[in-house]
Structure 1
């Protein structure tokens, strides 16, 4: 019993969900445009129109409103760009024209109409596609590089022949994305001609190029070898110059001459001793003279000493 009740409840929920989904699809119409294209949006008419209003809510920037009154035949616009305006056609209500759409116009467009039979409403969601700019080139190693610049949404890149490379994405402020992919061969037995294929909701493109990895690689190796050799030669020359400069600027250590003892000549000793010798000789002479005199005169020695 409970299982049957649960089944009924689930069925009602699914029914309500489907109705809401159908209602949203009917009220919200999807509109896809490519950058640079033009389009005209209309609002359903039932009875005689008295007032028509468009409200635009872009993803970036403030809302824009356009109002048309039938009784006064007056239009009014607020904060709308120049490429959005009214277009009048005979027997039809005014429509909204978007000329050369840009990414800034992406958003919701709501139409409100007042008629003798009531008020009607319709909404569009505008999606703007920006096709990428494709470029294919060879890098310094001679590998093909494919770039899909400023695409919205991001482009899908693939290679022919197959490649194991992964794409890199770079987002921009305006909502576009640049995709970059470098070719990496799955095997060595591949031709020099490679093709980059771009898949995008705005279209598909492809471009081919021939690169020479072997020649470029050998050239780069030779260049690197030359640069390294030159650097080593310069370092060696600088080391030799520094070595010679270091030894040439070293100060000479002069040996101190041995101290020479002063030489005293024999003449100096004679000069120094001579006064004493002369004095002794004089004393001896005097002594001898006195002795001779004493002996000659038979004088006592004491007298001689007193006399001295």
Structure 2
């Protein structure tokens, strides 16, 4: 004979007043049936009424190679039933579910990296890489409501910098393997600067900036590289020895040409004067 149990009415605050759900369950508070039904109903509400589920958002920034720990919010007074992490990465997605049944827990992983582990309300990622960037949605299901938390994970990777001269004498400054892309500027500023940003297969960025030496009146320039992982901007100085004519050399050449023309003109005039003077002297001597 099945014992008679009183019925309970589950009220879900995340559903608007015009939409209600009556679920009659035997009041056996620790039964697996009640827990499974609560979890199923909560998941349906997340899908049907995403705007009514209480939510929170945050941005988490970590360095590449560090341990990342993401936390969900939950009221300590509520009975925790299930925690689910939904990961939306650059070109993949996966789900981690942490289910609590009476005195037992069960964790399931679906297409997630082996570096990821779920423990109660937290998700840990060992040796965090740039490919782990994305949106991490945590859905907490308890006996009263469903709570959703969005975490945007940004992985910072410090770039490697260099400064060198190219074959034509221009200055080339670069920041490779960084995330996000580095910013490169020059001192002094010039309009003849070419900067290229390249995405690498490992989702890092390479920034290459070339300063042409043929259009400025400078013997040296300074490259400045800025990045969120740098306490202070990286700077490097380099002397220009380009094969092109710089402004100071052009001015010297113009002055030399003008002086040469003037000297040649003076010599030409004097020579003409001497040629005109010699015939007159010969006539006087004959007379």
In the alignment, is residue 52 of structure 1 matched against residue 83 of structure 2? yes
| RMSD (Å), alpha carbons | 3.1
The 5 Å alignment of 1:68-147 reads 68-71=99-102, 72-87=104-119, 93-147=120-174
The Cα shift of 1:185 comes to 5.1
In the alignment, is residue 41 of structure 1 matched against residue 70 of structure 2? yes
Q: 1:137 to 1:167 in 2, by over 3 A?
A: same
In the alignment, is residue 206 of structure 1 matched against residue 238 of structure 2? no
Equivalent in the alignment of 2:208: 180
- For the Cα contact (< 8 Å) 1:86–1:95, is it kept in 2? yes
Q: 1:111 to 1:146 in 2, by over 3 A?
A: same
TM-score by length of 2: 0.57
The Cα shift of 1:84 comes to 1.3
CA–CA separation in structure 1 for the residues paired with 2:238 and 2:138: 54
Bigger Cα Rg? 1
In structure 2, the gaps of 5 or more residues are 1-51, 246-287
Equivalent in the alignment of 1:152: 179
Q: Secondary structure at the match of 1:45?
A: coil
In structure 1, the gaps of 5 or more residues are 1-22, 88-92, 219-308
Moved more, 156-165 or 63-72: 63-72
CA–CA separation in structure 1 for the residues paired with 2:189 and 2:69: 43
- For the Cα contact (< 8 Å) 2:82–2:140, is it kept in 1? yes
- For the Cα contact (< 8 Å) 1:197–1:205, is it kept in 2? yes
The Cα shift of 1:157 comes to 0.7
Equivalent in the alignment of 1:28: 57
Higher helix share: 1
Moved more, 201-210 or 42-51: 201-210
The Cα shift of 1:24 comes to 11
Residue-pair matches, total: 190
> For residues 182-230 of structure 1, what are the alpha-carbon distances to aligned partners after superposition, in whole Å with 9 as ceiling and x for unaligned?
12359644243x321112233353232433516x779xxxxxxxxxxxx
